[in-house]
Amino acid sequence: MTTSPATPPPLLQVRGLHHAYGPTAVLQDIDLDLPAGRIAALVGPSGCGKTTLLHLCAGLLALQQGRIARPEAAVAVMFQQPRLLPWMATLDNIALGLRAQGVPRAQRRERARAAALALGLPEASLAQYPAELSGGMQSRAALARALVLEPALLLMDEPFSALDVGLRGQLHQLLLARQAQSGMAVLLITHDLMEAVRLADEVLVLAAAPGRIIARYRPPGEARARGEALVHRCAAQLLQHPEVRAAFGLPEQDAPDAAGTPPDEEGGGAWLQAPRCAAPRASHGC
């Protein structure tokens, strides 16, 4: 996220990041600033290096080239799969990180219970084992396990991708409410452009081979106030650019669609870094 005089200093800062698996470059020249209280969404096609970047930010992968500055403590990670421990009851799973922090048993169970109930987990589910929970309940438990740590920085790797649209919407709202209340910074990895536009203060578009940021976009207004129509318009605004379309493997769009939507319809968001024009056209503003 690009800083301006009005934005606080970054909590997570990435500079000149390169990463390769063997001879294959996966990430190239990644710069990113994420201040406290902001959500940045990193969106891109499958295989473009999103998870690699998140793992580097989480310290789960060794840095090869570049610099990452992040808080020493108070970083939580939520993975694509809930990754609950099957031999532990839900409440104990949620309290796991607090146990690692040395929080006394009664206190951690109380905090875990409060986090679970706030995310809509029924009281009865707290004594159940993960295999007894639905997929949606497991996702809530995984989110509770991350949020109960009261992280300053939450790193999320496609945490909602396996959920149905209704449940995903509920968890989006719960995340936004908690984020507004706590002021944590969130780096969200997703391949879903609509999800990125719905949740983020800044959307970073990654293209593949090697993974590099080709556009930075700020959707208008507060995330919690964005309705479906606005989200669609912003996603359409992003997808007007040939380079963004190419990153997602979409063909170039050179005429109004069948519904008659003009190709230059604006979503009202701001380009912080506009994509280069692969095929310059006046309507792209390039």
Residue 138: CA atoms inside 13 Å, Cβ hemisphere, count? Answer: 19
Candidates 44, 5, 1; CA nearest to 212 is: 44
Q: How many residues are recorded in the chain?
A: 286
47/104 with CB nearer ligand ATP: 47
> In angstroms, what is the minimal distance from the CB of 17 to ligand ATP?
13
Which residue's structure tokens are 């951690």? 108
48 binds ligand ATP (CB under 6 A): yes
Contacts of 89 (CB under 8 A, 6+ apart): 126, 127, 128, 129
191 binds ligand ATP (CB under 6 A): yes
The one among 10, 49, 136, 151 contacting ligand ATP by CB under 6 A = 49
46 binds ligand ATP (CB under 6 A): yes
19 binds ligand ATP (CB under 6 A): no
80/170 with CB nearer ligand ATP: 80
10/49 with CB nearer ligand ATP: 49
Burial of 129-139, coded b for 16+ CB within 10 Å and e otherwise, reads bbeebeebbbb
DSSP 130: G
> In angstroms, what is the minimal distance from the CB of 163 to ligand ATP?
16
51 binds ligand ATP (CB under 6 A): yes
113 binds ligand ATP (CB under 6 A): no
28 binds ligand ATP (CB under 6 A): no
Please work out the total of residues on this chain that contact ligand ATP, with binding judged by CB under 6 A: 11
Both tokens assigned to 90: 């839900």
Give the Cα separation of 213 and 129 in Å (integer): 41
> In angstroms, what is the minimal distance from the CB of 104 to ligand ATP?
38
